[in-house]
Amino acid sequence: MLESLRASAQGWIGRTIMGVLMGLIILSFAIWGIGDIFRGFGANNLAQVGGTEIGADTFRNAYQGELQRQQRLERRSITNEEAHQYGLDRQVLSRLVGEAALDDQSRKLGLAFSDDLVRKAIVNDDNFKGMTGQFDHQMLDSFLRDEGLTEKLYMRQQRAIQTRREIIDSLTGGIQLPTSLLEAIHRYQAEARAVDYIVIPNAAAGALPAPSEEALKKYFRENQTLYGVPEYRGLVVLPVAPAVIAKPDEVSDDDAKKRYEDVKNERFGAPEKRAVEQIIYASEADAAAARAKLSAGKTFDDLLKEKNLTPKDASLGTVTKGALVDKDVADAAFSLKKEGEVSAPVKAQFGTVIVRVGKIAPSTVKPYPEVAGELKRDIALQRAQKDIDRIHDAIEDQRTAGKSLAEAAKSVGLEPKVIPAIDATGNDPQGAPVKDLVDSQALLKAAFASDVGVDNDTLRVKGGGYQWFEVTQVEKPREKTFDEAKADVEKAWRDEEAGKILLAKTTDLTKKLDAGEPLTAIAAKEGKLEIKHASDVLRNNGNGLALNVVTQVFNVPVHRAGSVESEDGGRILFQVSDSTVSPFDPKAPELANILGDVKAGFNEDIIAQYLARLETDIGVKLNAKAFTAATGISPDEL
Within-domain flag for 374: no
Alpha helices (H) in 450-518, listed in sequence order: 482-514
Residue 32's pLDDT band (cuts 50, 70, 90): very low
**CATH number assigned to the domain comprising residue 112:** 1.10.4030.10
Are 446 and 391 found together in one domain? yes
More confident residue, 6 or 115: 115
- Looking at 295, 329, 362, the residue that finishes a domain is 362
Whether residue 8 has pLDDT greater than 60: no
Task: Give the pLDDT of residue 39.
Answer: 41
Domain check: are 495 and 518 in the same one? yes
CA distance 582 to 8: 28
Mean pLDDT of 366-383: 87
Same domain assignment for residues 110 and 132: yes
133 and 50: one domain? yes
Does residue 149 carry a pLDDT above 90? Answer: no
Amino acid letter for position 454: V
Predicted confidence band of residue 5 (pLDDT cuts 50, 70, 90): very low
Best CA proximity match to 597, nearest among 188, 163, 191: 188
Q: What is the pLDDT of residue 300?
A: 93
pLDDT tens-digit profile of 573-613? Answer: 999 999 999 888 877 776 776 777 788 888 888 888 888 88
Same domain, 63 and 135: yes
- Residue 505 maps to a domain: yes
- C-alpha of 584 from chain center: 32
Are residue 603 and residue 533 in the same domain, yes or no? no
In b/e form, how buried is each residue of 321-357, taking b as 16+ CB within 10 angstroms? Answer: beebebeebbebbbebeeeeebbebbebeebbbbbbb
Averaged pLDDT of the chain: 85
3 state DSSP class of 485? helix
Mean pLDDT of 424-446: 93
User: Do both 65 and 160 map to the same domain?
Assistant: yes
Same domain (yes/no): 63, 168: yes
In percent, how much of the chain has pLDDT > 70? Answer: 92
Whether residue 370 lies inside any domain: the answer is: no
Please tell me the predicted confidence (pLDDT) of residue 42.
Answer: 56
Report pLDDT for 352.
93
Q: Answer yes or no: do 388 and 525 share one domain.
A: no
pLDDT at 305: 92
Residue 258 lies in a domain: no
Q: Is 596 helix (H, G, I), strand (E, B) or coil?
A: helix
Distances (CA, A) of 156 to 97, 114, 118, 151, 631: 18, 11, 9, 9, 27
121 occurs within a structural domain: yes
Mean pLDDT calculated for residue range 404-408: 92
Q: Which of 447, 476, 505 is the last residue of a domain?
A: 476
Q: Which domain holds residue 336?
A: 272-362
Whether 175 shows a pLDDT value over 80: the answer reads no
**Res. 627 pLDDT band, cuts 50 70 90:** confident
Q: Are residues 164 and 203 in the same domain?
A: no
- Overall number of domains in the chain: 4
Q: Does 375 score more than 60 pLDDT? A: yes
pLDDT of 74 strictly over 80: no
| Residue of 160, 154, 148, 145 lying closest to 123 (CA atoms) | 154
Is 465 in the same domain as 498? no
Q: Is position 254 within any domain? A: no
C-alpha to C-alpha distances, 584 to 121, 324, 580, nearest whole angstrom: 40, 48, 12
Q: Tell me the C-alpha to C-alpha distance, in Å, between residue 340 and each of 330, 418, 474.
A: 16, 68, 77
Residues 545 and 430 in one domain: no
Confidence of residue 481 (pLDDT cuts 50, 70, 90): very high
81 falls within a domain: yes
CA–CA separation, 462 vs 241, rounded Å? 9
Question: Among 431, 456, 476, where does a domain finish?
Answer: 476
- Quote the longest CA-to-CA distance of the chain: 108
For the ranges 34-43, 123-132, 435-444, the maximum mean pLDDT occurs at 435-444
Q: Which DSSP state fits 155?
A: H
Average pLDDT over residues 12-20: 43
The CATH number for 467's domain is: 3.10.50
Has residue 187 been placed in a domain?
no
Given pLDDT bands bounded at 50, 70 and 90, which one contains residue 636? low
- The single-letter code of the amino acid at 463 is G
Q: Interhelix angle for 56-74 vs 88-109, to 10°? A: 130
Does residue 41 surpass a pLDDT of 60? Answer: no
